[in-house]
Structure 1
Amino acid sequence: MIPLPSPKVSVDWLLKQLDDPNLIILDATIKKVTSEETANNPGLQIKGARFFDIKKSFSETNTNLPNMVPSAQEFEIACRSLGICSHHKIIIYDTHGIYSSPRAWWMFTIMGHKNVAILDGGLPAWMKQALPTETKPKNPLHYKKGDFKAIYNSAMVVDLAKMLSETNASDSIILDARSHGRFYGTAPEPRNDLKSGHIPNSFSLPYTRLLHNGHLLPKEKLNEIFDDFDIENKRLIFSCGSGITACIILVAAHMCGYKKLQVYDGSWSEWGQIDGIPIEC
């Protein structure tokens, strides 16, 4: 099978592939927790898209933390119910432009599926060119069961115990995708049960710096941003509010050639609620 050209593809590229029987298009939209903004064109989807339900089907449910990675078995079962097979090329988008689609990309990647990419600009870019859409089905569709096989790579995920040891590690750097205000404790957290501030020895890199009009910045611009941090030859650990926007920075770093990439899955939803844990502002 011909591999996808990049971790992201353009709407023009996707348009040419719509009739490929090995292609699966997934809508991974979730609501933005930090704003009242609603998804653009919530009643429409790219023609033939299937809904990748991060909140209900592709998150661990036996926890009070949002958006935690499910087990390999749970991920596999959910993929198979969407008709996804191991040979499929998977393109993921969301209706905000780029917001939650990188989270889905990261999950497929840690589950061993490499032939996956996000749609740069998402549904807004698709609709701007008046490309084929359809009304979202009111009820979930049933697909022929797929044969997707998940092979979980735990090295790409950091838990709380590991994170506590990483705050003083010299061979890693922690980048926080939340806004500067939330990072420095000058803006409130959207979840009332969380403290303000940031993980000690972490650095603020708001995910919005990496985007322009719902598109990832060009590689040379991304490199300029990453050059502000001393990250060469270090493991990069990405955090945010609940593990969603951390994946935007991770995808950007991956595109720039960085290799040792991890997500602190609990992110601030976990760190910010625990008593006695170190916090800086």
Structure 2
Amino acid sequence: MTDDPKTLVSTEWLAAHLSDPDLRILDASWYLPDMNRDARAEYDAGHIPGARFFDIDEISDTQSALPHMAPPSEKFMSRMRAMGVGDGHQVVVYDGAGIFSAARVWWLFRLMGKTDIAVLDGGLKKWKAEGRPLEDMAPILRDRHMTAQRQANLVKDVTQVAAAVKLRDWQIVDARGPARFRGEEPEPRAGLRAGHIPGALNVHYATLLNSDGTMKKGEALRAAFTDQGVDLERRIITSCGSGVTAAILSLGLEILGHRDHALYDGSWAEWGQFDQLKVETG
């Protein structure tokens, strides 16, 4: 694998750069309720040296009724400043599952105009399996100036997605599991209808990953999309349950050199609750 500090870096790369003064590491672990894991407690018990904990639910638009929507730029900047993450830093983000929630934070930084951010391939799981160092002390934080410029082209709202369904000028690609996509399995969030956005294609995020939690490469990664009917020459909106695993698809597209993609931030947590929006099953 070729390490790319703008998309994906290996555990070897991170280990070699661990003491770089302008490196900032973020633990962005986040789990679904049925996973029965406490991300903050796991961070406190042991994390990659120097890592700061990035709370996806708190560093969000807490005024929205929808889960962990992207925060206003001002909130993002103030939280990052307080965490000692700022302009000129190379950021590496990881999670405890391999590649799961880390991609969401990668996308969030990109949304804020920050491109020097990479996901740790294989995450904490791979780092630990290789016997690499951990620490249980939080780093000393010093404020660092951070500027953000929101890139509106990287995100879509419900109105824009509804227009895309009607005009068919974007492909909508849903990262949820096949049974949820087809409406055969109830949604984990109460009150949501089952099924998918009309015309959407289903690329389960897990199909982009190897068994060790690393991202597939080259032709295998490309096939994860094309085998499900995705045309990589066309524009793509990624979607999922609440905007977390959709970012894994966005990361995969970026690695493949596909630049014209955006993420539906409200995802099924939003679309699934409005009766006036059509739903397909099967």
- Normalising by the residue count of structure 1, what TM-score does the alignment of the two structures yield? 0.93
Separation in 2, partners of 1:144, 1:136: 15
- More strand, by proportion: 1
- The residue matched to 2:167 in structure 1 has which SS? coil
- The residue matched to 1:237 in structure 2 has which SS? strand
- The residue matched to 1:79 in structure 2 has which SS? helix
Question: Residue 167 of structure 1: CA displacement?
Answer: 0.7
Match of residue 127 from structure 1: 128
Q: Cα deviations across residues 173-223 of structure 1 (Å, max 9, x unaligned)?
A: 000000111111101110111110000010111101111221111222011
Match of residue 232 from structure 1: 232
Would you say 1:167 and 2:165 are equivalent positions?
Answer: yes
Match of residue 215 from structure 1: 214
Separation in 1, partners of 2:10, 2:269: 33
Match of residue 198 from structure 1: 196
Separation in 2, partners of 1:34, 1:165: 34
RMSD, aligned CA = 1.8
Question: Residue 41 of structure 1: CA displacement?
Answer: 5.3
Separation in 1, partners of 2:38, 2:122: 16
- More helix, by proportion: 2
Separation in 2, partners of 1:136, 1:169: 52
Amino acid of the structure 2 residue aligned with 1:88: H
Question: Residue 64 of structure 1: CA displacement?
Answer: 1.1
Question: Residue 235 of structure 1: CA displacement?
Answer: 1.1
Moved more, 177-186 or 210-219: 210-219
Q: State the identity as a percent.
A: 37
Match of residue 97 from structure 1: 98
Separation in 2, partners of 1:254, 1:247: 10
- The residue matched to 2:161 in structure 1 has which SS? helix
Query: Which residue among 34, 43, 46 is the counterpart of 1:44?
Result: 46
Would you say 1:241 and 2:213 are equivalent positions?
Answer: no
Q: Structure 2: which 5+ runs fail to align?
A: none
- The residue matched to 1:215 in structure 2 has which SS? coil
Q: Structure 1: which 5+ runs fail to align?
A: none
Contact 1:4/1:116 (<8 A) preserved: no
Contact 1:239/1:265 (<8 A) preserved: yes
Separation in 1, partners of 2:34, 2:199: 24
Contact 2:113/2:151 (<8 A) preserved: yes
Q: How many residues align?
A: 275
Question: Are residues 38 and 80 of structure 1, via their aligned partners in 2, closer, same or farther at CA, if it must alter by over 3 Å?
Answer: closer
* Structural mapping, 1:46-65, within 5 Å: 46-56=48-58, 58-65=59-66
Question: Residue 230 of structure 1: CA displacement?
Answer: 4.0
Match of residue 151 from structure 1: 149
Separation in 1, partners of 2:5, 2:223: 23
Separation in 2, partners of 1:34, 1:174: 27
- Normalising by the residue count of structure 2, what TM-score does the alignment of the two structures yield? 0.93
Contact 1:168/1:201 (<8 A) preserved: no
Match of residue 87 from structure 2: 86
Contact 1:46/1:132 (<8 A) preserved: yes
Separation in 2, partners of 1:90, 1:6: 9
* Structural mapping, 1:243-258, within 5 Å: 243-258=243-258
- The residue matched to 2:97 in structure 1 has which SS? coil
Separation in 2, partners of 1:208, 1:34: 17
